[in-house]
């Protein structure tokens, strides 16, 4: 039993130990250059004891306090700094963020203003064959039985954009496309078409996956009503788009891709070459919609990512100007953040994406993907390609190179990006979802406030 005296004694002892440590450690701090002193402090047990009584942040690097990242070997950490000072209940934060979203989407936009678009205007129809395109292809991973719904997409996409530029399509499938499918596509567009069968090693479930563990995990997720939890091909699809599509031999000749899906809609009559915009403005990635994920499907994606970053010298891959705070946000939906181990689950909705495949082919992204793949959790959980792309981009790319195509009206049921843009029709400006109750899935305000410059200079004059 601890009596009052021993509590008093131990408090005094702690105080003395603490004081001595401070007296010894502070001069030491002056002897070492800042970085070394910091790691010294960090590893000492004395610090750990002191840390319980003093603000531990005083002893960590300035970057951690100010920007929420700390990068050194085997000691990579992040924290949400809440730069907007959001407070109140999640419901209040949500209301506030909805207002931010509505105000942002109410602004009239036309097209990006950060680069000169003169050379990006649609060529004369007669000279379309001489038009110098960006190094890019439209990609559609699709099944033969989705012929009608992908045609619907292509008709809309051609009208909005591609009939003006004729970028080639690359249709991708884990099975051979039927002649009927190929003929139908040829009837739908005048653009060049390429039909590709995915090499099995880029699509199939890796052999090391423990099928018992996989089926147990699938059952649990299915019982929790997680869509496609038990669909093996869906897991393959997510893994393929996360980390192997850019290595399909027929895609290696290209740098940029614009991904399309069956049954999506495009509402804007685009008057500039969006793919050339990516190239000229040196963007790495473009998106239209931000939303939260089903937290359970990515429960350990962020913790595993931290494991990776803490191995060897992998810390060096982190871009100090990444969109970290957007990944870490925890005010609007703290429950998701907590289930996902510190990741908000907010992501770029990848059914629309325009990206630079060389980013995904980079050492940083591919080493990270290799690690993720080795955990087997594309199968033991249901990691989606959208959160995987999003975390990779937010960590390894400069946030200024990630572009919100706010001017492009887009829908993949049930979500929209619908700008207040004179060239946009058939959608309601500012509407996020077909269903009002899904408005809480919108995390776009976090992108505006945590990752986008306050004046989005790509659309508004400074
Ligand atoms: N070839 C092929 N394509 C697939 C397979 N599974 C999914 N896809 C494609 O991968 C993309 C994403 O799949 P979707 O079924 O649309 O998944 P989702 O967008 O999460 O779900 P939905 O809300 O149902 O659209 C689409 O372009 C599909 O056509 C598959 O097993 N084989
Ligand atoms: C297009 O990009 C790919 C990938 O970076 C590259 O290998 C290829 O040489 C490029 N093609 C042209 C014509 O520049
Ligand atoms: Mg889809």
Q: Which pLDDT value is given to residue 11?
A: 52
**pLDDT tens digits, 320-330:** 999 999 999 99
Mean pLDDT (whole number) for 406-422? 98
The number of domains in the chain is 1
Contact 282, 256 (CB under 8 A): no
Residue 458 binned pLDDT confidence (cut-offs 50, 70, 90): confident
Q: Which pLDDT value is given to residue 462?
A: 60
Distance 384 CA to ligand 3 centre (A): 12
> Which tokens belong to 80?
């949400």
Q: Which pLDDT value is given to residue 61?
A: 72
Distance 246 CA to ligand 2 centre (A): 13
**pLDDT tens digits, 263-285:** 999 999 999 999 999 999 999 99
pLDDT at 52 over 80: no
Higher pLDDT, 352 or 7: 352
Distance 155 CA to ligand 2 centre (A): 28
Write the DSSP assignment of 349-378 as a string of letters. Answer: -TTSEEEEHHHHTSHHHHHHHHHHHHTTHH
For residue 357, the ligand closest to its alpha carbon is 2
Q: Radius of gyration (Cα) for the chain, nearest Å? A: 25
Range(s) of the domain holding residue 224: 90-458
> Which tokens belong to 94?
């949500």
**Buried/exposed 191-203: b ≥16 CB within 10 Å, e otherwise:** bebebbebeeebb
> Which tokens belong to 119?
């050379």
Residue 10 binned pLDDT confidence (cut-offs 50, 70, 90): low
Mean pLDDT (whole number) for 388-416? 97
Write the DSSP assignment of 120-181 as a string of letters. Answer: GSPPPGGGGGG----SEEEEEE--GGGHHHHHHHHHHHHHHTGGGT-PPEEEEESSPPPHHH
Residue of 111, 158, 353, 381 with catalytic role: 353
Q: Please give the C-alpha separations between residue 351 and each of 25, 319, 412, in angstroms, as whole numbers.
A: 54, 25, 7
Distance 443 CA to ligand 1 centre (A): 23
pLDDT at 239 over 70: yes
In a domain, 193, yes or no: yes
Q: Which of 237, 351, 388, 413 is the pocket-test mutation for ligand 1 (most atoms within 8 Å of CB)?
A: 237
Higher pLDDT, 412 or 452: 412
Ligand 2 contact, 246 CB (< 6 A): no
DSSP SS3 for 286: strand
Q: Which pLDDT value is given to residue 15?
A: 53
pLDDT at 456 over 80: no
pLDDT at 182 over 50: yes
Residue 218 binned pLDDT confidence (cut-offs 50, 70, 90): very high
Ion ligand 3 neighbours (CB, 5 A) are 261, 351
Ligand 2 contact, 135 CB (< 6 A): yes
Distance 350 CA to ligand 3 centre (A): 9
Mean pLDDT (whole number) for 312-339? 97
> What CATH code is carried by the domain that includes residue 237?
3.90.550.10
Distance 136 CA to ligand 2 centre (A): 9
Q: Hey, whose CA ends up nearest to atom 31 of ligand 1? A: 233
- The full 3-state SS of 305-337, as one line of letters, equals HHHHHCCCCHHHHCCCCCCHHHHHCCCCCHHHH
Residue 408 binned pLDDT confidence (cut-offs 50, 70, 90): very high
pLDDT at 184 over 70: yes
In a domain, 10, yes or no: no
Secondary-structure percent of the chain, ordered helix, strand, coil, rounded to 5: 50, 10, 40
Q: Which pLDDT value is given to residue 55?
A: 43
Residue 454 binned pLDDT confidence (cut-offs 50, 70, 90): low
What is the residue-averaged pLDDT of the chain? 89
Q: Hey, whose CA ends up nearest to atom 9 of ligand 2? A: 253
Contact 237, 378 (CB under 8 A): no
Cα separation of 88 and 61, whole Å?
29
pLDDT at 44 over 90: no
In a domain, 303, yes or no: yes
In a domain, 57, yes or no: no
Distance 245 CA to ligand 1 centre (A): 14
Ligand 2 contact, 253 CB (< 6 A): yes
**pLDDT tens digits, 351-360:** 999 999 999 9
pLDDT at 57 over 80: no
In a domain, 230, yes or no: yes
Higher pLDDT, 35 or 166: 166
Q: Which of 132, 134, 135 is the pocket-test mutation for ligand 2 (most atoms within 8 Å of CB)?
A: 135
Q: Which of 152, 351, 383, 384 is the pocket-test mutation for ligand 1 (most atoms within 8 Å of CB)?
A: 351
DSSP SS3 for 270: coil
Q: Which pLDDT value is given to residue 353?
A: 98
Q: What ligand 1 atom has the least distance to the C-alpha of 234? A: 6
Mean pLDDT (whole number) for 455-460? 74
pLDDT at 194 over 80: yes
Q: Hey, whose CA ends up nearest to atom 7 of ligand 2? A: 253
In a domain, 46, yes or no: no
Q: Which pLDDT value is given to residue 457?
A: 64
Ligand 1 binding site (Cβ under 6 Å of any ligand atom): 141-143, 146, 173-174, 233-234, 237, 261-262, 351
**pLDDT tens digits, 292-307:** 999 999 999 999 999 9
Q: Which pLDDT value is given to residue 310?
A: 97
Residue 242 has φ and ψ, to the nearest 5°, of -70, -45
Residue 460 binned pLDDT confidence (cut-offs 50, 70, 90): confident
**DSSP bridge partners of 77:** 70
Residue 62 binned pLDDT confidence (cut-offs 50, 70, 90): confident
pLDDT at 159 over 80: yes
Cα separation of 234 and 427, whole Å?
30
Ligand 2 contact, 255 CB (< 6 A): yes
Tell me if residue 353 is catalytic. yes
In a domain, 65, yes or no: no
H/E element, 212: helix 211-223
Q: Which pLDDT value is given to residue 35?
A: 34
Q: Hey, whose CA ends up nearest to atom 1 of ligand 2? A: 254
Q: Which pLDDT value is given to residue 19?
A: 53
For residue 144, the ligand closest to its alpha carbon is 1
Q: Which pLDDT value is given to residue 435?
A: 97
Q: Which of 246, 250, 253 is the pocket-test mutation for ligand 2 (most atoms within 8 Å of CB)?
A: 253
Share of the chain above pLDDT 70, in %: 86
In a domain, 209, yes or no: yes
Mean pLDDT (whole number) for 99-109? 96
Q: Which pLDDT value is given to residue 43?
A: 32
């Amino acid at each position: 039993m601890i009596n009052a005296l021993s509590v008093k004694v131990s408090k005094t002892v702690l105080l003395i130990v603490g004081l001595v440590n401070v007296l010894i450690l502070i001069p030491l701090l002056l002897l070492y250059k800042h970085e070394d002193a910091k790691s010294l402090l960090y590893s000492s047990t004395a610090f750990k004891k002191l840390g319980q009584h003093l603000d531990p942040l005083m002893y960590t690097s300035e970057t951690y306090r100010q920007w929420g990242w700390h990068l050194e070997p085997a000691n990579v950490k992040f924290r949400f700094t809440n730069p907007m000072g959001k407070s109140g209940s999640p419901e209040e934060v949500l209301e506030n963020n909805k207002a931010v979203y509505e105000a942002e989407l109410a602004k009239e936009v036309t097209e990006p203003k950060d680069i000169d678009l003169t050379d990006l205007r649609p060529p004369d129809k007669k000279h379309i064959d001489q038009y110098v395109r960006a190094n890019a292809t439209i990609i559609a991973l699709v099944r033969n039985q989705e012929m009608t719904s992908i045609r619907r997409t292509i008709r809309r996409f051609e009208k909005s954009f591609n009939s003006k530029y004729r970028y080639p399509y690359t249709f991708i499938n884990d099975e051979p496309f039927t002649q009927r499918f190929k003929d139908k596509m040829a009837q739908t567009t005048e653009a060049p078409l390429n039909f590709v069968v995915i090499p099995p090693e880029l699509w199939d479930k890796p052999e090391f996956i423990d099928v018992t563990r996989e089926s147990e995990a699938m059952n649990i997720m299915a019982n929790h009503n997680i869509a496609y939890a038990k669909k093996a091909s869906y897991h393959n699809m997510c893994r393929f788009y996360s980390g192997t599509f850019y290595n399909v031999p027929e895609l290696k000749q290209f740098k940029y891709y614009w991904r399309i899906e069956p049954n999506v809609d495009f509402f804007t009559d685009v008057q500039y070459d969006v793919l050339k915009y990516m190239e000229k403005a040196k963007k790495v990635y473009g998106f239209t919609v931000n939303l939260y994920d089903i937290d359970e499907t990515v429960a350990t994606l962020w913790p595993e990512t931290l494991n990776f970053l803490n191995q060897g010298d992998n810390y060096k891959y982190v871009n100090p100007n990444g969109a970290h705070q957007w990944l870490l946000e925890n005010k609007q939906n703290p429950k998701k953040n907590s289930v996902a181990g510190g990741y908000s689950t907010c992501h770029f909705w990848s059914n629309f994406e325009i990206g630079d495949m060389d980013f995904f082919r980079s050492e940083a992204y591919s080493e990270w993907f290799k690690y993720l793949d080795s955990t087997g959790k594309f199968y033991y959980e249901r990691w989606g390609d959208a959160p995987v792309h999003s975390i990779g981009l937010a960590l390894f790319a400069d946030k200024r190179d990630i572009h919100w195509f706010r001017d492009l009206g887009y829908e993949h049921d049930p979500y929209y990006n619908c700008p207040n843009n004179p060239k946009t029709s058939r959608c309601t400006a500012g509407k996020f979802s077909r269903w009002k109750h899904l408005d809480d899935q919108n995390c776009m305000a976090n992108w505006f406030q945590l990752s986008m410059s306050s004046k989005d200079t790509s659309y508004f004059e400074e």
